[in-house]
Structure 1
């Protein structure tokens, strides 16, 4: 007990550093999502469909090549989604926040194989994956 009292600052430092190491896993576990590399693998090998849930003006400014634009506000009623609900849907937005909400909405519509792309379009660009803009 004396050791704990004499070295409280070392114990506090160890607890804080451990918490900081675990924070990304805790945060990432809540939102889930696939990496950009995994998203590309799903698109190429399993015919995954990339759905961009940003607004049309954001989509026009720049989007992943081959992505379909279905804004989050129109997701529940959109007919632009694939009719085959077994296909992997990869949900993309600017940073990943809207994509997580969109994945939850799509799962309610019966698309059980949908996942947000972690980091959104920012991560897509950072991975040097193709991006195009509407002319």
Structure 2
């Protein structure tokens, strides 16, 4: 009986994870670094990592609005311009896209693989 309950819980967790992954892919277009570079200069480039991660290195021109503060800082983002998001690996930017989508943002993009895959220009806080 205990094994049955654990299997049901595990199946529910897997189903929820798959649902989240599919909905994130529908909401935000995942871009390769080349596609990201081609469009982010005409958009709002947002780093959703925490400030210490941002200070250690970020994409040149990015603004830091951590996922943990996004709800309270929505007024800093325009709904009429594309939003390019990235985090360290791609998980937080996907969650940020879901949150923005629920608030009416339509043009949402995020960097495949996140900052750890980035090989372009970066800026660090010295």
TM-score normalised over the length of structure 1: 0.69
Matched residue pairs, number? 102
**1:92 and 2:86 aligned:** yes
Structure 2, unaligned runs of 5 or more: 1-17
- Residue 125 of structure 2 aligns to a residue whose secondary structure is coil
Gaps of 5+ in 1: 1-25
Q: In the alignment, which residue of structure 2 is the partner of 1:49?
A: 44
Report the Cα distance in structure 1 between the residues aligned to 2:92 and 2:77, rounded to whole angstroms.
Answer: 20
Paired with 1:93 and 1:49, the residues of 2 have a C-alpha distance of: 14
Alignment of structure 1 residues 40-119 onto 2, 5 Å: 40-44=37-41, 47-79=42-74, 81-83=76-78, 85-119=79-113
Which of the pair has more CA radius of gyration?
Answer: 1
Relative contact order higher in (CA < 8 Å, ≥ 6 apart): 2
Deviating runs (4+, > 6 A) in structure 1?
none
What TM-score results when the alignment is normalised by the length of structure 2?
Answer: 0.73
Q: Secondary structure at the match of 2:116?
A: helix
Cα RMSD after superposing both structures = 1.9
CA contact (8 A) 1:34 1:118 kept: yes
